[in-house]
Structure 1
Amino acid sequence: MLEEGDNVMRRTLIRGATLVTLDATHGDLVGDMLIERERISAIGHRIEAPGASEVDAQGFIVAPGFVNAHMHTWQTALRGVAAGWTLTEYFRRMHAGLATRFTPEDIRIATLAGAWNQLDCGTTTLVDWCHNNPTPQHSDAAVDALEAAGIRAAFFHGSPKPDPKPGSKPFWEVPHPRAEVTRIARRLEGSSLVSLGMAVLGPHYSTLDVALHDFKLARELGLIASMHQGGGAARTPDGWERLDAEGLLGPHINIVHGNNLDDGQLSRFVDAGMSFSITPENELTQGHGFPITGRLRKLGVNPSLGIDLESGLSGEMFVAARFALGVQRALDHAAYRAVHEGIADQHEVGCRDALAWITLEGARMLGMADRIGSLAPGKQADFVMIDARRLNMNPVHDPASAIVMQASLANIDSVFVAGVARKRNGRLLVDGLPAALDALRASGERLLHGHAYA
């Protein structure tokens, strides 16, 4: 057995698990998975690996680690504060209010605690969409925390959105800072777990000149450019057409939300290879509109999923998958009833689809599907062990359905990132958690002190 103190899986055999690989070659099987250092080296019904440490995984479901494709991790210390806010209130009270109070230390502790919570919940890859970084010190604090957490992460460098000040340009007229992006890129050149992307304003939230600048910069630097789309009137109503005419659309462009896109735009974006990350629970809660899951599926593609913000929601990705699935099924049934009498004979979307949204589709959005998102020889050993022996999951008849529809945080027994155990036997393997929680509470109390957020 793997000892708790030995959290690096140099050569370890996961024995007797129910493996949900999401890999076309291996599918689902009851069998073994051999890990050699940071990679999966073999999957099969019975693997002989003399000298390897063994983990008895009978009664466990082993699945790819979850990919949280969109989260503002800097808001962790404000849990619950935004739970009752509409999107309009969120813009005013968070971005123009609470966000302006953050020090680099507030960013650091929120990102560290938020990343640890993602690991605890089974997420192995986090897209940290950091758009409260008014100084390089704020950005460095976030990157420091991601590296310290031990999670695989994509740091999407954004920009703050305060109210305009006299004599200063409003945020929607400020291009993304080339010098800062290239500085962080140099810093992360040797990182094995943390990569870089750009969290830009996009044409919905910026002038055309800013959007053109940011899209060209992302293309020049070879970075993903991710942007929110929707919420209020667009600042550049014909922005997407202008960007398309400049040849700036492509697989490196990621749309977050996208609820207000018309069918023609969505079709054109799919044709261009753009990716889509949706946050169904928060989109419905704050008033963005209905998630575009089904609209994308009709065009032959699928979304990745994100939590969005823990200031309003929990951080559990299987909850996001369950919510997204339920909402889309409800929309499908409503559409059926509008044409036919009664209830459709079968669902148009399944639990395995929803599981892919929080694993393989997130990997594809990041351009990492060759490394993460499914379990196959040669891929990174990013996986989660789900204890299906517990009362809430036992018996398991369909493991993918069990993960999406029955699993909870209580079932997340073990989490591995690049062959390193970050959680084992239900316990997060981190140093300094009590002190970090104290610091997180102190940060939240300071940020909220005297602020009429409710």
Structure 2
Amino acid sequence: MESKKILIKNGTLITMDPKLGELMSGDLLIVDGRIVDVAHSIPPVDGAETIDASNFLVLPGLVDTHRHTWQSLFRNIASDWSLSHYFTGLHGTISELYTAQDTYAGNLLGTLEALNSGITTMLDWCHNLNSPEHTDAAVDAHFKAGARVVFGHGGGHQHYQVVSHEDHPVEDVRRLRKGRLSSDDGLVTLCLAARGNQFATMDVTVRDWQLAEELDLRISCHFGDGEWGRNRPIAALAEKGMLHNRLTCVHCNSLADDELQMMADAGCTASVAPDIELQMGHGWPATGRLIKAGIKPSLSIDVCSSNGGHLFGTMRAALGTQRGFDNEAARNEGKACVDEMETTCRDVLEFATIRGAEACGLGSKVGSLTPGKLADVILVRTDTFEMIPMNNPIAQFVYNGHPGLVDSVIVNGKFVKRDGKLVGVSFDEIRELAYRSRDGIVSRAKGKNGLKLGGSWLPKPYHAA
């Protein structure tokens, strides 16, 4: 087979590799899907496609560690909802109405949206798997889109009538693990998106952890989102020896400080979604408290039925909120403000890249422009009014970036977006698919719980048993 080589020349390289740092003008060589060299200058390479990146930032692809991708069909319907409205609206109304084809449509739309914004790796926290057919359709969409996806099997709507005594659909997970997602080296891999002891009983949670151990799967689980998190769920798991380094704790807002330390001591990773957490009432984002405990968090979109599906807004929400906390702490010490920024633009970009890769179990494979890693790379335009003159590349990416600046996206050494357009994707076909599924769900709902489009629907708050 002929070797595929791509030589990117003269770009502003933000490698996120502490040994390589930033190169204001540098080159990157990709061979057969891997990064093989990063240098100030790489000589011409026989057979390589050469790309002049003089007007581009070159970065590792971004990593989203927790997204309920199926909800993209109902984007922004929940933008004025609290968490209790969300449980009624999404889990108590919409989720059960999805056909397998609707799950395919939502996952395809949401994954393409992520790729378009420079997210090359995504953990799809899929809790809309109402049957094995829904599961297959969800996975089909990820293979079709071409992103690197960790597919988090999260059960279906029937598992989110909390607090639930219903077991996870274990045979469906086993089927995937023995079949199409048996390898941890594929573009789409598997993890267990468990409800945990906030949303299910401890007996169910123990069985979920046993399933993950049986199938050698990482676990992603919600903790500390709102009042549910005040019952010390992490401490309860710690007492049973159930914290470990293959567990990602999502949100963490209302967890106690000692519970965050328990997570750190066990090697857990964390995922925060600051804009959703602030909106829906989860509690103040735990970013700074996690860092203090020894965990640098990753970032997540969470419910794309509420916010935009790109990490630029998430990075800015994380940064702005934590800087507010830091400055308030300084004022409480009698200072006017912090002496220097305790949370930097580099920090949040690290959360969105290498820390995200680690939370997905992919830290040795992606997350930085390190020779030997898989070639997940994005090129971001700098020849625009938002980006000139280039004075501080990382800060300008974090504060000024948006999906429209993402010119090209490479996953596994293959272009999936180029010259500002997704490769091999018909926007008209995706739009038709999305509207057909969305309209079908609304029609089948017949006004259940007051469902309507346009922005005025406010479901009644959900009250857990």
TM-score where L is the length of structure 2:
0.92
Q: Does 1:111 align with 2:107?
A: yes
Q: Deviations over 1:303-357 (max 9, x none)?
A: 1001112211101112211111011101111121122142222211100001011
Q: Provide the aligned C-alpha RMSD in A.
A: 1.9
Alpha-carbon shift at residue 297 of structure 1 (Å)? 1.1
Cα shift readout 1:182-215 (whole Å, capped 9, x = no counterpart) = 1111221257200000111111111110111111
1:176 aligns with 2:168: yes
Q: CA deviation at 1:178?
A: 2.3
2:10 paired with 1:16: yes
Counterpart of 1:3?
none
Distance across 2 between alignment mates of 1:163 and 1:121: 32
Equivalent in the alignment of 1:48: 43
User: Letter of the aligned partner of 1:299 in structure 2?
Assistant: A
Tell me whether 1:305 sits opposite 2:299 in the alignment.
yes
Q: 1:129 aligned to 2:125?
A: yes
Structure 1 residue 448: Cα displacement: 2.4
- The number of residue pairs the alignment matches comes to 443
Structure 2 counterparts to residues 18-417 of structure 1, below 5 A: 18-29=12-23, 30-51=25-46, 52-162=48-158, 172-186=164-178, 187-189=180-182, 192-231=186-225, 233-234=227-228, 237=231, 239-417=233-411
Secondary structure at 1:173 match in 2? coil
Read off the aligned partner of 2:164 and give its amino acid letter.
W
Find the partner of 1:436 among 416, 430, 433: 430
- Which SS does the other structure have where 1:25 is aligned? coil
Distance in 1 between the 2:229 and 2:272 partners?
A: 22
Kindly provide the CA deviation profile for residues 19-76 of structure 1, in whole angstroms up to 9, marking residues without a partner as x: 0001122110121001102001111011113322200000210001000111000011
Structure-1-length-normalised TM-score: 0.94
Give the distance between the partners of 2:233 and 2:349, measured in 1 at CA. Answer: 34
Distance 1:112 1:163, change over 3 A: closer
Corresponding position of 1:5: none
Contact 2:387 2:400 in 1 (8 A): yes
Deviation at 1:115, TM superposition (A): 0.5
Unaligned runs of 5+ in 2: 452-456, 458-465
* Cα gap change, 1:107 to 1:309, in 2 (>3 Å): same
Spell out, residue by residue over 1:346-374, the C-alpha distance to the aligned partner (whole angstroms, 9 max, x if none).
Answer: 21110000101111011010121111000
Q: Aligned with 1:97: secondary structure?
A: helix
Q: Is the 8 A contact 2:12 2:57 kept in 1?
A: yes
Question: Helix, strand or coil: the match of 2:277?
Answer: helix
Q: Report the Cα offset of residue 245 of structure 1.
A: 3.0
Report if aligned partners of 2:181, 2:189 keep a CA contact under 8 Å in 1.
yes
Counting aligned pairs with the same residue, the percent is 37
In 2: Cα distance, 1:58 partner to 1:357 partner? 26
Q: Tell me how far apart the structure 2 counterparts of residues 443 and 374 of structure 1 sit (CA, whole Å).
A: 37
Preserved CA contact (<8 Å) 1:381 1:419? yes
In the TM superposition, what is the alpha-carbon distance from 1:238 to its structure 2 partner?
Answer: 5.9
SS of aligned partner of 1:67:
strand
Q: Shift of the alpha carbon at 1:414?
A: 0.3
Unaligned runs of 5+ in 1: 1-7
Query: Which range is displaced more, 63-72 or 230-239?
Result: 230-239
CA 101–185 in structure 1, closer or farther in 2 if over 3 Å, else same: same
| Contact 1:206–1:235 (8 Å) recurs in 2 | no
Q: Secondary structure at the match of 1:17?
A: strand
Shift of residue 234 of structure 1? 4.0
Contact 1:71–1:307 (CA<8 Å) still a contact in 2? yes
